[in-house]
Amino acid sequence: MATKKVLLLGSGFVAQPTIDILSKEPGVELTVGCRHLESAKKLAQPGNKTVAVDASNQEELDKLVAQYDLAISLIPYIYHVNVVKAGIKGHTDVVTTSYISDAMRALEPEIKKAGIVVMNEIGLDPGIDHLYAVRAIHEAHAKGGKVTSFISFCGGLPAPEDSDNPLGYKFSWSARGVLLALQHTAHYYKDDKIVEVPAKDLMASAKPYLIYPGFALVSYPNRDSTTYRELYNIPEAQNCIRGTLRFQGFCEFVQVLVDLGFLKDAANPIFSEPIAWKDALSQYIGAKSNSAEDILAKVDSLTKYKSEEDKERVHAGIKWLGLLSDTKIHPRGNALDALCATMEDLMQFGPKERDLVVLQHKFVIEYPDGKKETKTSTLIDYGIPGGYSSMARTVGIPCAVACKLVLKHSGVYAKPGLYAPLTPEVAEPLLEDLKNDYGIFLVEKTL
């Protein structure tokens, strides 16, 4: 078999498992490409090639991608379209772990014309979640059943014993990505009616969610869940919601950050110089002075607390982040990125700490004979200190498995097109390989 040349673009948290797996794949020659060559060299395995590449430079990207059989885009999602355009031009297959965007969907005719496969949404969420939703729904329909309710929540978290800060959270991927995800209005179906939750109210809408009694989890909805009635072929679903899981206390604290304007990335001169956080915060929110007392009084006037306990926890959190101190900000030109830089300083996983992924689908199925059943599909996965984080494992390994299937060009993967694992034909091979070869699977139960 001729050697397949593969280009992996990206140096983020989840790239390493993909690199490690493909480096061991017979007949694959892997090149790691990053904006900075040193970043690529840190990730690369012996035998890999490395290259510096700027994904915002379309001409440079076109020339590079055309040299490969497959390009893997693990760079920020805003650049995926650039990679796909380069793939179309160079007749190069592409794999991403991100959602299919409208801009990507618009390229579908050109993708088919170029004769390439562009595979998306094959990480954790989206990714592994699709595989088990598609399987359960297909099985229910094959038995004549109707899926009247589909509820799915997923969270990347610290293990409970390592959730030792006011947010109960540490970053296993981009802090900016975590906070930007909270800027979107959510829509979902409840009792066959669309519920809208404006972004500013998203954290306040969080509710306790029981998966196992040992986890103090809360849930809130993600973006637009209403499309999944069509994507999962469940027009009969009265309830259809996909959302995020966090530990209790996270949402109350982030709601205060929202109320203070910290999720805004508009340019602001306050965050352009390395001044003390107490000066930056007092100026930004309009406190009387930079004293802790005046800053906290202003914070209290800008937000609402559900309880005195929440107020105390928020005050403690603001102090813990150093926002009342002489600690200098990282000048990033806007409130969001300055805060993210500080959070990333304080909220990384230590060498002996581990992260946790919790994912659960809950289906209510009604059958023609009137029988009704509730099924769950659940993943609880811990990272390994000194090894892969759970987030890296559950995103990077599915990505690698998808790459291997695309490289083989067998079955549905032999047909040019724009794909996500939303049909049994696409999902089943991925599900089986992940379970059999890597031990990644959801535990399915009928309650």
Give 314-370 pLDDT, tens digit per residue: 999 999 999 999 999 999 999 999 999 999 889 989 999 999 999 999 999 999 999
Q: Which of 427, 443, 439 is nearest to 131 (CA)?
A: 427
Cβ-proximal residues to 79 (8 Å cutoff; 6+ apart), any chain? 55, 56, 73
The total of structural domains in the chain comes to: 3
CB 116 within 8 A of CB 89: no
- Tokens of residue 254, six digits: 């982030």
How far apart are alpha carbons 61 and 64 in whole angstroms?
Answer: 5
Give buried/exposed letters for 42-58 (b at 16+ CB in 10 A, else e).
Answer: ebbeeebebeebebeeb
- The answer as to whether 447 is a domain residue is no
The residue written with tokens 């993909």 in the block is 18
- Does residue 64 sit in the same domain as residue 137? no
Least confident residue range of 1-5, 318-322, 394-398, 429-433: 1-5
Q: Which domain holds residue 185?
A: 128-249+350-382
How many other CB atoms sit within 10 Å of the CB of residue 423?
16
The residue whose two tokens read 């930004």 is 284
In 74-211, at which residue ranges do the beta strands (DSSP E only) sit? 93-96, 117-119, 146-158, 186-190, 193-197, 207-208
Q: Would you place residue 172 in the very low, low, confident or very high pLDDT band (cuts 50, 70, 90)?
A: low
303, 411: one domain = no
Alpha-carbon gap, residue 12 to 318, rounded angstroms: 28
User: Is the pLDDT score of 12 beyond 80?
Assistant: no
Check residue 41 and give its pLDDT.
92
Output the pTM of the full model: 0.90
Concatenating the DSSP letter of every residue in 341-360 gives HHHHHHSPPPTT--EEEEEE
Do 221 and 241 meet the contact criterion of CB atoms below 8 Å apart? yes
How many angstroms separate the CA atoms of 131 and 423, rounded? 9
How much of the chain exceeds pLDDT 90, in percent?
Answer: 81
- pLDDT classification of 11: cutoffs 50, 70, 90: confident
Q: Looking at residues 170-178, what average pLDDT do you find?
A: 77
- In 10 A of CB 208, how many CB atoms? 9
393 CB-side CA count, 13 A? 23
Q: 240 with 371, same domain?
A: yes
Q: Are residues 231 and 354 part of one domain?
A: yes
Out of 62, 69, 125, 259, which one is annotated catalytic?
Answer: 125
What span, in angstroms and rounded, lies between the C-alpha atoms of 331 and 276?
11
- Give the C-alpha separation, 184 to 271, whole Å: 24
Q: Is 20 a catalytic residue?
A: no
In-domain check, residue 315: yes
Q: What is the CATH number of the domain that holds 134?
A: 3.30.360.10
Coil, strand or helix: which one is 205? helix
Type of residue numbered 183: Q
Query: What's the pLDDT at 182?
Result: 82
> Domain check: are 339 and 359 in the same one?
no
* Structural tokens at position 116: 């390439």
Tell me the average pLDDT of the chain: 93
Model confidence at 1: pLDDT above 80: no
Which parts of 101-234 fold into alpha helices (H)? 102-105, 108-114, 128-142, 175-180, 228-231
Q: Where are the beta strands (DSSP E) in 25-92?
A: 28-34, 49-52, 70-73
Let me know whether 142 and 33 are in one domain: no
Whole-number pLDDT of residue 373 = 95
Q: Residues 416, 360: one domain?
A: no
For residues 359 and 245, membership in a common domain is answered with: yes
Q: Do 375 and 395 reside in the same domain of the chain?
A: no
> Both 268 and 320 in a single domain?
yes
Looking at the fold, whether 234 and 355 belong to one and the same domain comes out as: yes
CA–CA gap between residue 407 and residue 94 (Å, rounded): 10
Residue 292: which of 318, 267, 314 has the closest Cα? 318
97 lies in some domain: yes
Cβ-contact 324, 318 below 8 angstroms: yes
Task: Answer yes or no: are the C-beta atoms of 434 and 128 closer than 8 Å.
Answer: yes
444 located within any domain = no
The residue behind tokens 């690369």 is: 44
Give pLDDT tens digits for 236-261: 999 999 999 999 989 999 899 989 99
CATH number for the domain harbouring residue 339: 1.10.1870.10
Q: Looking up tokens 């001729």, which residue turns up?
A: 2
Q: Cβ(163)–Cβ(172) under 8 Å?
A: no
> Once rounded to an integer, what is the mean pLDDT over residues 38-57?
92
- Domain of residue 53, CATH code: 3.40.50.720
446, part of any domain? no
**155 within a domain of the structure (yes/no):** yes
Do the domain assignments include residue 445?
no
> Would 427 be classed as within a structural domain?
yes
Question: Which tokens in the block code for residue 42?
Answer: 């840190």
Please state, in angstroms and as integers, the Cα–Cα distance from residue 419 to each residue in 90, 127, 267, 403, following that order. Answer: 19, 12, 37, 13
Same domain, 422 and 299: no
- Whether 55 and 9 have beta carbons less than 8 Å apart is answered as yes
